Amino acid sequence: MRNGSTFLSLKAPAKINWFLKVIGKRADGYHDIASLMQCICLYDNLLFELSDTIEVLSNSEDIALKDNLVYRAACLLKEYSSCKQGAKIVLQKDIPIGAGLGGGSSDAAQALLGLNKLWGLGLNKKELSLLGTGLGSDVPFFFDAPFALVEGRGEKVTKYRLDSPVVLLLVMPPFSVSTAWCYASFDKLSTGELTKKPIDIKLFCRALRSQDYASLCAMLSNDLEKVIVESYPVVGEIKNRLLEEGAAVSAMSGSGPSVFGVFKSKKAAISAARAIDSDRSLIDWYRVVRTLI
């Protein structure tokens, strides 16, 4: 912060889903899930300045103001707190939109945290997280990031710890996917036999720590992946290509369509990125990143 408390700058990290299990559909239309999420070193930036009204400026033309989660978060917090102040928020997007990387949810969480501080509201993280639940199912995770098990609709978050980061190559095909469409398509394809088997989180974390890729490969799964691959086969092609180029394991993140590959070193990930860079039928965007711990 500078000039007292009139300016604030925050980073909003993206996330990946190590696994995503759909447990069942709820009466409210949402789905109960179990997902192990981890933040990565890919960020949007939010700049806050005190103002009389709420204004959000973004370098992305793909987000209408009424759909912008930062704007919605600001309006929600202002109404909840009866705050008389406003804010000018500049959102600098670097996380692809509609990629399954949680950019909008992370932005919303940081907007709540930033405005809580800028406006001097003094709300605790639990209150802000509860507000965030109304904005999106992934929002509460970002209050307990960088590594956590997310359950229920997304409101049940259990933090875990890892000792060392993992190198990833993220690949985004030349299209985005609506989360709502993905879950609606999942419901249409579902046979009613949803995931009931409990996930051994300790075993999964142990495999990550020890880089036991054989075990990870057996546990890495995303129940939404089949839906996406059926409509967009290129997602499966990207997974296979990452494995061909040396990824130890590969999976789709969230509701897609971005895919990540786990590599043993940054050098190996960069080499793989160069190998597949020229194939624009597969790739619109890619980035070598590491997980946050």
Residues assigned a catalytic role = 15, 138
Q: What is the DSSP letter of 212?
A: -
Is 39 within 8 Å of 78 (Cβ atoms)?
Answer: no
CA dihedral 120, 81, 137, 94 (to 10 degrees): -40
| Chain-centre distance for alpha carbon 160 | 17
Is 286 within 8 Å of 172 (Cβ atoms)?
Answer: yes
- Tokens representing 122? 């003094």
How far apart (Å, rounded) are the C-alpha atoms in residues 99 and 84?
Answer: 36
Query: Which pairs count as long-range contacts for 264-271, CB under 8 Å and 24+ apart, including other chains?
Result: 264/167, 264/211, 265/167, 266/167, 266/290, 268/167, 269/167, 269/168, 269/169, 271/245, 271/246
How far apart (Å, rounded) are the C-alpha atoms in residues 110 and 37?
Answer: 17
- Distances in whole angstroms, Cα of residue 73 to Cα of each of 146, 157, 210: 21, 20, 39
How far apart (Å, rounded) are the C-alpha atoms in residues 263 and 171?
Answer: 13
